[in-house]
Chain A
């Protein structure tokens, strides 16, 4: 069996006396579309932060693409192909939409071994990414001029600009209308079809079910279910966590 792209083993994280993650094991194969769900405070975002290096896990290991990435800084993990988008969009407010995309191209793609992208290549990549997320007309605008859904798309496009192998999309659809959610799900599926492995952290079940090939459920920092989405949502443990006794 091929080695998983992401292998998390025995990962734990505490905030003082609060156990945010308790011995999480997770393996994600290349090309997979994984949904990560759980009630508020279950540890989903903490897990993303530990995988990306924003937070340091106390125990456990994170292997990415066959390499232990524990101890690496966030930007070093990004350069290895581990990108993320944020729960609340965090655009670079004083840079234009196109320049927001230029940053990962300059600092991630050009920092990898091999020939660097020229200025013309970077312009072409920015235009291609903007086409992909349907923001073509917004290249020269500033993030403050964008709508909520456009901001989400920019967030995803910026993560994509780093040319990741794995994208962790943290609540990419929060606060969007139904049609906007469909829009983002369609976009994520298109990105996956380009060969990018995606872990979607989300509360909107309709979106999760439409997107995911596999569903992982966290409750109180523990993984309680992992499998096919239809089977997982019928799991009594999952029903109990979401609906109570």
Chain B
């Protein structure tokens, strides 16, 4: 399917999802749906670096929080509409991704993962000590009651996150089918052989860290308006780092559809567990699912289906 046709299909599906959520006439659907969509963006963004190039990023929360705190900063400094804040969040997180990529270019495997974790700790420490954006005590971001055309503000945030999810999925799919996608795959498979085949691995790794960081920053930018009160503990929460890794791994990391499936499955399950059992149980669900998938289907749901199909054709 051509990219623009796929984009139109995504927009149509998005419109159906929004219309369906409106039909329910319950704001909770929008609150919960926003979180699911946010994790679709985060999982897809993580997968561009972690799945396509094989560089596992444990610092997703840092990029997400950088986007969120960019919004907080501008909310105080010079209030701007959310779409502009999303672009600014993407720029800030993209630059952090570029810087991280530059500093960790020579690291691989566990060493790269530890470096990304360290980035999250360093950034959280900076935010905790930066009073202008609320420091350790946090910052209030009062959202308007409603917006023209859409009405309720949470509906507006839902539409924004829906648009971001569509953008993230289309970016990931376009990469997968492009020269860049081949380059990323060679880095994941064998960096030495990739260089010997003419692939500029260092440059492509920088592209991946920047793109992945920018998309995570985009997901974080509307977050202060969603939550209303942002503190470092919520922006840098463990959930973001764990879910960003777990969702693509459960869905499958080699294709754009894997993180989408993983995010819908896990985030929906978490939302259900939060309201029906306990919010603390949601991470336990992720942990159990991850352990189960690593044992039963190490290539995720997509890998499982592909193996079944291949077995049928043999």
Using a CB–CB cutoff of 8 Å, the interface residues on chain A facing chain B are 52-54, 73-75, 78-79, 83-84, 86, 90-95, 99, 102-104, 106-108, 111, 158-159, 161-162
- With the chains together, A93 CA to B192 CA distance in Å? 13
CB atoms of B186 and A106 under 8 A apart: no
Complex Cα distance, B280 from A57, in Å, reads 56
Instruction: Select which of B189, B190, B200 is within 8 A of A107 by beta carbon.
Output: B200
Q: Are B193 and A90 in contact (CB under 8 A)?
A: yes
Chain B nearest CB, measured from A187 CB (Å)? 19
Distance (whole angstroms) from the CB of A159 to the closest CB of chain B: 8
B199 touches A103 (CB 8 A): yes
Q: Assess whether B144 is interfacial by the CB under 8 Å rule.
A: no
Nearest chain A CB to B9's CB is how many angstroms away?
A: 23
Cα-based distance from A9 to B190 in the complex (angstroms) = 30
A95 in contact with B186 given A107-B197, A107-B198, A107-B200 (CB within 8 Å): yes
The reply to whether B198 and A104 form a contact with Cβ atoms under 8 Å apart is yes
Contact status of A75 and B182, CB under 8 A, knowing A94-B189, A94-B254: no
Partner among A52, A90, A91, A107 whose Cβ is within 8 Å of the Cβ of B199:
A107
Q: Can you give 9 A-B contacts (C-beta < 8 A)?
A: A53-B195, A54-B196, A75-B198, A86-B193, A86-B196, A92-B190, A93-B190, A102-B182, A106-B182
CA distance A91 to B197 in the complex (A): 11
Known: A94-B189, A94-B254. A78 touches B196 (CB 8 A): yes
| Contact A75 to B179, CB < 8 A, known contacts A90-B190, A103-B186 | no
Q: By the criterion CB–CB under 8 Å, are B195 and A74 in contact?
A: yes
* Main DSSP-derived SS at the B contact region: helix
Contact residues on B (Cβ < 8 Å of other chain), bracket: 20 to 34
Q: How far is the CB of A73 from chain B (nearest CB, A)?
A: 7
A107 touches B192 (CB 8 A): no
| Minimum-distance CB pairs A-B, first 8 | A108-B198, A74-B195, A107-B198, A90-B193, A92-B189, A104-B197, A78-B198, A90-B190
Given contacts A92-B185, A95-B186, contact A103 B194 (CB under 8 A): yes
Residue of B nearest to A86 (CB): B193
Question: How far is A53 from B196 in the complex, measured between Cα atoms in Å?
Answer: 9
Q: How far is the CA of A107 from the CA of B186 in the complex (A)?
A: 11
A196 → chain B closest CB, angstroms: 16
Query: Is A111 a contact partner of B198 (Cβ separation < 8 A)?
Result: yes
| B201 interfacial contact with A, CB 8 Å | yes
> How near does chain A come to B307, taking the closest CB pair, in angstroms?
12
Q: Closest chain B residue to A162 by CB distance?
A: B198
A158 to B194, CA, bound (A): 11
Q: Which residues of A contact B179 (CB under 8 A)?
A: 106-107
A78 contacts which chain B residues (CB < 8 A)? 195-198
Residues on B with C-beta less than 8 A from A95 are 182, 185-186, 189
Chain A residues near B254: list those with CB within 8 A: 94
Contacts of A53 in B (CB 8 A): 195
| B126-152 near A? 1/0 per residue, CB < 8 Å | 000000000000000000000000000
Q: Is B188 an interface residue (CB 8 A)?
A: yes
- Asked if B183 CB lies within 8 Å of chain A CBs, one says yes
